Amino acid sequence: MMTKRENALKAYRHETPDYVPCFLTDFSMIQCCPDLERYTGITRGKDYWGCDWTFEPAPINAPMPTPGVHLFEDITEWRDKLQFPDLEAIDWVKQADIDAHSDFFGLLTGKGITPNEDGSSIYDEDKKDLLRLAMILNGPFERLHACMGFQNALMAIAAEPEECREYFKAMADWKIEYLKKIGKYYDLDVIMFHDDYGTNDRMFMSPDTWRKLIKPELARIVKACHEAGMIYEHHSCGFIEPIIPDLVEIGVDALDPIQVCNINAGKLKIEYGKKLTFVGGFNNQDAFERSDSTPEGIKAEYRRAVDLLAPGGSYVAFPMGVAFASFAEPFIEEHFKYGMSFYQSSANK
Q: Residue 155 above 80 pLDDT?
A: yes
Give the pLDDT confidence of 214-270 residue by residue, as tens digits: 999 999 999 999 999 999 999 999 999 999 999 999 999 999 999 999 999 999 999
Tally the residues of the chain.
Answer: 349
Task: State the pLDDT at residue 93.
Answer: 98
Q: Residue 42 above 90 pLDDT?
A: no
Task: State the pLDDT at residue 133.
Answer: 98
Q: Residue 4 above 90 pLDDT?
A: yes
Q: Residue 343 above 90 pLDDT?
A: yes
| Mean pLDDT across the chain | 95
Q: How many CB atoms lie within 10 A of CB 120?
A: 15
Query: For residues 316 and 254, what is the distance between their CA atoms, to the nearest angstrom?
Result: 9
Query: For residues 104 and 98, what is the distance between their CA atoms, to the nearest angstrom?
Result: 11
Task: State the pLDDT at residue 238.
Answer: 96
Task: State the pLDDT at residue 211.
Answer: 98
Query: For residues 114 and 142, what is the distance between their CA atoms, to the nearest angstrom?
Result: 25
Q: How many CB atoms lie within 10 A of CB 277?
A: 28
3-state secondary structure of 289: coil
- Does residue 189 sit within a domain? yes
- Does residue 193 sit within a domain? yes
- Does residue 346 sit within a domain? no
pLDDT band for position 322 (cuts 50, 70, 90): low
Whether the CB-CB separation of 188 and 100 falls below 8 Å is answered with no
Task: State the pLDDT at residue 320.
Answer: 77
Task: State the pLDDT at residue 346.
Answer: 61
Mean pLDDT lowest among 185-199, 217-231, 285-299: 285-299
Task: State the pLDDT at residue 314.
Answer: 98
pTM (two decimals): 0.96
- Which DSSP letter does residue 274 get? T
Query: For residues 331 and 336, what is the distance between their CA atoms, to the nearest angstrom?
Result: 9
Q: Which of 76, 77, 50, 47 is nearest to 63 (CA)?
A: 47
- Does residue 252 sit within a domain? yes
Whether the CB-CB separation of 333 and 31 falls below 8 Å is answered with no
Query: For residues 150 and 158, what is the distance between their CA atoms, to the nearest angstrom?
Result: 13
* Backbone conformation region of residue 50, classed left if phi is above 0, alpha if psi is from -120 to 50, else beta: left
* Strand ranges across the sheet with 62-65: 44-46, 52-56, 62-65
Going by DSSP bridges, is the β-strand pair 131-136/190-194 parallel, antiparallel, or unpaired?
Answer: parallel
**Spatial CB neighbours of 183, under 8 Å, sequence gap ≥ 6:** 225, 227, 228, 229, 230
Domain CATH number, residue 239: 3.20.20.210
**Spatial CB neighbours of 114, under 8 Å, sequence gap ≥ 6:** 102, 103, 106, 107
Domain range enclosing 255: 4-341
Task: Considering only the C-alpha atoms of the chain, give the largest distance between any 2 of them, rounded to a whole number of Å.
Answer: 60
- Does residue 347 sit within a domain? no
- Does residue 288 sit within a domain? yes
pLDDT band for position 1 (cuts 50, 70, 90): confident
- Does residue 349 sit within a domain? no
**Percent of the chain with pLDDT strictly greater than 70:** 99
**Spatial CB neighbours of 324, under 8 Å, sequence gap ≥ 6:** 24, 105, 109
Q: How many domains does one find in the chain?
A: 1
